[in-house]
Chain A
Amino acid sequence: MKSFFRMSYPYILWISVFIVAPMVMILLYAVTKTGNGTLTFQFTLEHFARFFSDPDFLRVLWTSLRIALITTVFCILVGYPAALFIANLKERAQTLMILLLTLPMWINMLLKTYAWRGILMNFDLESEVKVFIGMVYDFLPYMVIQIHTAISKLDRELLTASYDLGANRWQSFLRVTLPLSVPGIISGITLVFLPAVSSFVIPKMLGGGNYVLIGNLIEKYFLVAGDWNFGSAISLIMALIIIASMYLTKKLDRSAEEA
């Protein structure tokens, strides 16, 4: 059976060429002087300094985090009850509901955002509200499905035991179903918050040009200004934020288990 391990060699080669090498490229460009497109090996941290010293860049970062946070919280508030009610449906109705939720995920995100652009033309909303609707629309199904998977895995007998010990429906939900569905919420957060922070299509198409999130900044410095070094630096900063928040949610998840 040991020989089977050799079967993963082609894949190891693949990830080193197409995942590791590119990330190294970003790192290199982020810490070297601007060479408009070519790699100059003069080491510098000026790009990071430039990013963190300018209040506007920080405001852009803060706006991205803020909109992603509101989107995630809203998805949880709207998504959790939906997931709970679906989990209480009968078997066949449940599979139908999940199918109905997954169908839109298959349709191009661009087309759906374009549809929203058409719809939102009727209303005169602030760009931030439009971006918020677009984001919630795109990420809500992911959240509902993650939470539903967690809830449907719970052993029904636990609820019976809770009733038996005197807890009514609401108390049983609060003390048994909710705490045990936390892992589902956390995996939902990772599937919503992380992409939301870095999204650049929805803000661009729905928020008009001015609603700049960090994703737009990266696109701007790579495609418009052609400053790859600064663009890479911003990407690295965002990647670090993502990894930090992912680590945080993992720890939260593990501590939830220990409690």
Chain B
Amino acid sequence: MERKKGFWHFFTSGYLILVLLFIYLPIVYVVVFSFNESRSMTAFSGFSLKWYESMFNNREMLDSLKYTVLIALIATVTSTVIGTVAAIGLSKARRLIRSVILEINNLPVLNPDIVTAISLMLLFLSLKIRRGIVTLTLAHITFCIPYVILSVLPKLRQLDDNVAEAAMDLGAPPWRALTRVIIPQIYPAIFSGALIAFSMSFDDFVISFFTAGMDVQNISMYVYSMKRFNPSVNALSTLIVVVVTLILILANVVPAIRDRKRKKEEF
């Protein structure tokens, strides 16, 4: 078993490294070329912060980044609240009602983005609603809520019901039972639902493209509208890669440290 394992171990880790290389090739490529002196994406002619400078001077690009983050935050918070409340409501609904609503709920997730985008555009234009930041935010909330529900509802259904009944038996009114017993248990699901919603809103292009109208543009729309290849996008991508890496490290390392600390206290 020992000898064969050696080769197999080498083969599997080699394969995984290849996959990681493929996944991270563009990211590394972009980060490297964001410091390139010349415009070209093929020859690295010298180190310079030229593109970072041009990015920070490019108000249109910065505005679109600002809108992207702003709308992502608003959409995440609103959809998490509505989604969680709806999930709790649905978990107590009759089977038929729940399955019908869930079927509709999954439509924006399974349907191709462009169909959802078109449908929302048609809605706004037919009702003569002027497309702008409001319609864009409403659209984002609409496609974020399903992810929250899909992450919270299963956890809710796993909770054993008589925990809430026990809380009420000990004198807690339904509302208190909800906040004191049910929500703390599904907190991780709410959090992961919010994270998915944030990443979906932050990353969206198609739906924003059709529902944003003239006033506002998010990062994806700005990049899409650039005809000639503009290296300052590399600078922007590097900025986002750094921020995203920080957030993920924060989101994963902090709980790990806390767990290890808590384990130490237990001994």
A residues apposed to B, CB below 8 Å:
1-12, 14-15, 18-23, 25-26, 29, 37, 39, 78, 81-82, 85-86, 88, 95, 97, 99-112, 114-119, 121-122, 137, 140-141, 144, 190, 194-195, 197-198, 200-201, 205, 215, 218-219, 222, 228, 231-232, 235, 238-239, 242-243, 246
Contact = CB atoms under 8 A, between A and B. Distances in A.
Contact of A110 (B114, B205, B247): B205
A22 B120 contact: yes
A76 to B, nearest CB: 13
Contacts of A246: 110
B58 to A, nearest CB: 15
A81 B15 contact: yes
A107 B27 contact: yes
Contacts of B30: 111, 115, 118
B16 A8 contact: no
Given A20-B104, A222-B118, A118 B248 contact: no
A8 B86 contact: yes
Given A1-B174, A82-B15, A97-B16, 6 more contacts: A22-B119, A25-B119, A112-B27, A115-B27, A205-B224, A215-B114
Interface in B85-139: 85-86, 88-93, 101, 104-105, 107-108, 110-116, 118-123, 125-126, 138-139
A108 B220 contact: yes
B42 A110 contact: no
A7 B114 contact: no
B212 interface: no
Contacts of B197: none
A239 B145 CA distance: 21
Central interface residue in B23, B116, B248, by most chain A CB within 10 Å: B23
Q: Is the interface of B mostly helix, strand, loop or mixed?
A: helix
A112 B30 CA distance: 9
A105 B252 CA distance: 16
A109 B210 CA distance: 17
A5 B108 CA distance: 23
A190 B110 CA distance: 8
Contacts of B85: 7-8, 10-11
28 contacts: A1-B161, A7-B86, A8-B85, A8-B86, A9-B89, A11-B86, A14-B145, A19-B142, A22-B120, A37-B125, A39-B126, A82-B16, A101-B23, A104-B27, A105-B199, A106-B202, A107-B27, A107-B241, A108-B240, A109-B203, A114-B223, A114-B233, A115-B26, A118-B33, A118-B234, A122-B41, A215-B114, A218-B114
Interface in B18-58: 19-20, 22-27, 29-30, 33, 41-42
Interface residues of B, number: 78
A13 to B, nearest CB: 10
A14 B164 CA distance: 28
Interface string B63-81: 0000000000000000000
Contact of B126 (A25, A140, A198, A235): A25
B86 A23 contact: no
A201 B144 CA distance: 21
Nearest to B20: A100
Contacts, number: 221
A112 B88 contact: no
A43 to B, nearest CB: 17
Contacts of B115: 26, 198, 235, 238-239
A2 B174 CA distance: 10
A11 B82 contact: yes
B114 to A, nearest CB: 5
Contact of A8 (B90, B121, B229, B244): B90
Contacts of A14: 82, 142, 145
B101 to A, nearest CB: 7
A200 B114 contact: yes
B20 A106 contact: no
Given A22-B123, A85-B15, A141-B23, A8 B93 contact: yes
A88 B101 contact: no
Nearest to A109: B203
A29 B126 CA distance: 11
A106 B101 contact: no
Contacts of A86: 16
A126 to B, nearest CB: 19
Nearest to A117: B229
State the 8 A-B residue pairs at the shortest beta-carbon distance, nearest first.
A8-B89, A198-B112, A22-B119, A11-B86, A7-B89, A118-B41, A115-B26, A110-B220
